[in-house]
Amino acid sequence: MKFRILLAGLGLAWLAPFALGQTIPNPITSAVRMVLHNSAQHMIASAKLMPAGKYGYKPTPPQMTFRHLIKHATMANYFFCSRLTGAAMPKAAHGVMAGRPAKAVLIQRLRASYAYCQARFAHATDQGLGNPVHLFGPHPMSRGAGMIIMTNDWTDHYAIAAYYLRLNGILPPTARRHH
């Protein structure tokens, strides 16, 4: 029981059945939901932490601005979550990349894109992980491979956000938990 409490405290409650020798139904989509939850928390917190005046910040000329990163992460959420679940691209995705919206608008859009993904994956199962999906170009890949790419994308977006925050003297969300 103490081990389950420790795992829950670390945000790893999904590992508790393994500790008890049980199997987890739908282990892949369960893991995707966990990574999705963490990504939403970290990216939204990052967007809130960056001052509005720093949304145009980019470390070097070839890199994207923080604003573009938030817009890109928002659009990527809609893209992957619609393609991997067979849902239509929502109207909210249209125009995400256009203009220079204010920080509050960007945060609201980012939050909405994560809510869309959470709704799409809420009841997803591992059935059909081998089914083909078209994500990039004419060649399909398995739905499972697409999910790996999506979770890697979430991790990449947060790594960039954390890097930009640190370069501006701001401790990123995951580093704040330990202080």
Structure confidence at residue 2 (pLDDT):
56
What pLDDT, in 10s, does the model give residues 33-65? 999 999 999 999 999 999 999 999 999 999 999
Structure confidence at residue 53 (pLDDT):
97
Structure confidence at residue 22 (pLDDT):
79
Structure confidence at residue 25 (pLDDT):
87
Which parts of 1-100 fold into alpha helices (H)? Answer: 2-9, 16-19, 27-49, 66-85
Q: Count Cα atoms within 13 angstroms, Cβ side, for 5.
A: 2
- Decide if 168 is inside a domain: yes
- Counting the structural domains of the chain, the total is 1
CA distance linking residue 79 with residue 54, whole number of Å:
27
Name which of 144, 175, 149 is nearest 162 in CA terms: 175
- What are all long-range contacts of 10-13, with beta carbons under 8 Å and residues at least 24 apart? 11/38
Strand partners, 142: 132
- Decide if 10 is inside a domain: no
- Decide if 63 is inside a domain: yes
| Per-position pLDDT tens, the chain of length 179 | 555 554 455 556 656 656 667 788 899 999 999 999 999 999 999 999 999 999 999 999 999 999 999 999 999 999 999 999 999 999 999 998 999 999 999 999 999 999 999 999 999 999 999 999 999 989 999 999 999 999 999 999 999 999 999 999 999 999 986 55
Looking at the chain, the number of H-run helices and the number of E-run strands are: 7, 2
Structure confidence at residue 13 (pLDDT):
60
Burial class (CB in 10 A: 0-12, 13-18, 19+), 163: middle
Q: Which domain holds residue 71?
A: 26-176
Q: Which CA distances in Å does 143 have to 14, 139, 164? A: 22, 13, 32
Burial class (CB in 10 A: 0-12, 13-18, 19+), 90: middle
How high does pLDDT run on average in the chain? 90
Q: Which CA distances in Å does 11 have to 37, 38, 48, 179? A: 10, 9, 22, 17
- Decide if 14 is inside a domain: no
- Decide if 12 is inside a domain: no
Structure confidence at residue 23 (pLDDT):
82
- Decide if 11 is inside a domain: no
CATH code of 49's domain: 1.20.120.450
Report the 10 Å Cβ neighbour count for 54: 17
The model's pTM? 0.86
Structure confidence at residue 11 (pLDDT):
58
